[in-house]
Amino acid sequence: MHDEIDEIDTYFASRGEITEGEAVKMEHIMMEKVSINPERRKLLRTVGVFGKTEKQLKEESGLTDFFFKFHMDFLLKEGLLKLDDEIYRLTDMGISLHDSVC
């Protein structure tokens, strides 16, 4: 089997690493996605500086299991929250976003 290289492969190969400007733009887009969503802001506020367990967050947020998982997956994937010993905590980026939008 012969691997063919097409225009899309060439395009992505030529892109290389993202620039600092692109990284900042991507971070701003992600922060906007968090800040305009009231459920995500509420989750960040609820976690706060001391952290919360999943049970506490579910109870205090009032979200259904589906939406809780949806928003928590987003916040974890984007690096705003981390899970330490079954307690959700804000990361450094999460703290800065918490301070600016909550």
Residue 1 has pLDDT above 60, yes or no: no
CA distances (Å), origin 19, targets 27, 33, 41: 12, 21, 29
pLDDT in the model for residue 70: 96
- Tell me what the pLDDT averaged over the chain comes to: 88
Residue 47 lies in a domain: yes
Residue 62 lies in a domain: yes
Residue 15 lies in a domain: no
Residues 75, 9: Cα–Cα separation, whole Å:
31
Residues 31, 36: Cα–Cα separation, whole Å:
9
Region 78-82: mean pLDDT is 94
Residue 57 lies in a domain: yes
Region 16-20: mean pLDDT is 80
Look up the pTM and report it.
Answer: 0.73
Domain count for the chain: 1
The domain in which residue 83 lies consists of 21-101
Cα torsion 31, 36, 40, 42: sign? positive
More confident residue, 2 or 20: 20
HSE, side-chain direction, 13 A CA sphere, residue 53? 5
The tens digit of pLDDT for each residue in 25-60 reads 888 888 888 888 999 999 999 999 899 999 999 999
Least confident of 30-34, 61-65, 84-88, 98-102: 98-102
Pairing of strands 81-84, 52-53: unpaired
